[in-house]
Structure 1
């Protein structure tokens, strides 16, 4: 674990928690580490899970898939990010999404119930619990934003709303988005060719400039 301690100390989950205290929490959480190949499924839709994951290396995505196999990226998972923490708390509730590695990845799994239900009462457990609540609250706000994008009447408004928020998030009119073109299309629940066409039209109107995942708002 020492190899990945910098990833853990940099995660919001372990904010204000010392290295030796992290080891204490991991032991309580009956942790284990697994490796996944690119495009391998980490968790399937309908799985029930007792352990949430922390991405130690690589990349992954949370995918929503409908009956006909149409995929929509709910969010991307980067190094240090958590996933399935809500479902690990409500461990009898099946997942309504899948988690897929988009690169060769290494995942740390932790049983959160073991920690939250531990008889061991300590300041570090209280800090850990507060950090979990912050993470869940932040993710709820992000999902609300996505609902806002998808509620727009047309693709143009979805794109402009998304790019406006990205500029504000980065504090600059010039920024990189965390998606390639297909991922952006999946995130906005549209077709890739339609997205590319609309981006081109918006650029011709002089509202934006872009090159791959780099955008400048005019």
Structure 2
């Protein structure tokens, strides 16, 4: 995918939506934006390393992992084209990343640094202030998504985790039928459950008329 096409994906993000072409270019300058490409399996950000910029996925998918108390990887987010990650870590100028970010597929990422935005905002620059407000909204949305994740992991049973997750997906999509961003293996990791047990529970829920699904398309009944 050409860079110009990639950047059009970025223009649909809440941070840049409805900006004119000239204002979009100005905003990219405020973030010292740069594009980087990665092969499947490549590490974008490693645990323990500085996390000073946040990313907006232009193509492909990246996944964010932390470690549980047993040292096992636990997926925190599955980030597709047009979505962002690491905003809070970049905002806090995190010296040691608590997560690994890995390319789940070949991917292109727009990296954004908020240092210039901070400086221009402190100077009272009107455009920087407007973009800073947008960034604050993105941070607020990230907090909501993190709360959704906590709600899932607080459920002791696989079925309860599934229902909570699927209800969140339904709410975000605004439709009774929706596509989840995971295959079965990734969904098991995201929910923190055994893959075989997950498949068994999905089959039970379908047979009981609680859900219907085909591959990644789901519907709560």
Question: How does the TM-score come out when normalised to structure 1?
Answer: 0.90
User: What displacement does 1:198 show?
Assistant: 0.9
2:173 to 162, 170, 174: 170
**Are 2:90 and 1:88 aligned?**
yes
Aligned residue number for residue 44 of structure 2: 42
User: What displacement does 1:38 show?
Assistant: 0.5
Per-residue CA deviation, residues 66-106 of structure 1 (Å, 9 max, x unaligned), is 46552221111111222222222222442111111111111
Q: 1:31 to 1:168 in 2, by over 3 A?
A: closer
Per-residue CA deviation, residues 162-182 of structure 1 (Å, 9 max, x unaligned), is 222322332333222111111
Runs of 4+ in 1 over 4 A off after TM superposition: none
Q: Which runs of 5 or more residues in structure 1 are unaligned?
A: none
Decide whether the 8 Å contact of 1:40 with 1:100 is kept in 2.
yes
Q: 1:155 to 1:84 in 2, by over 3 A?
A: same
Separation (CA, whole Å) in 1 of partners of 2:141 and 2:126: 23
SS at match of 2:15: helix
Mean Cα deviation higher: 38-47 or 4-13: 4-13
Decide whether the 8 Å contact of 2:30 with 2:128 is kept in 1.
no
Separation (CA, whole Å) in 2 of partners of 1:157 and 1:67: 22
Separation (CA, whole Å) in 2 of partners of 1:50 and 1:167: 33
2:198 to 195, 198, 207: 195
Decide whether the 8 Å contact of 1:87 with 1:94 is kept in 2.
no
Aligned residue number for residue 116 of structure 2: 114
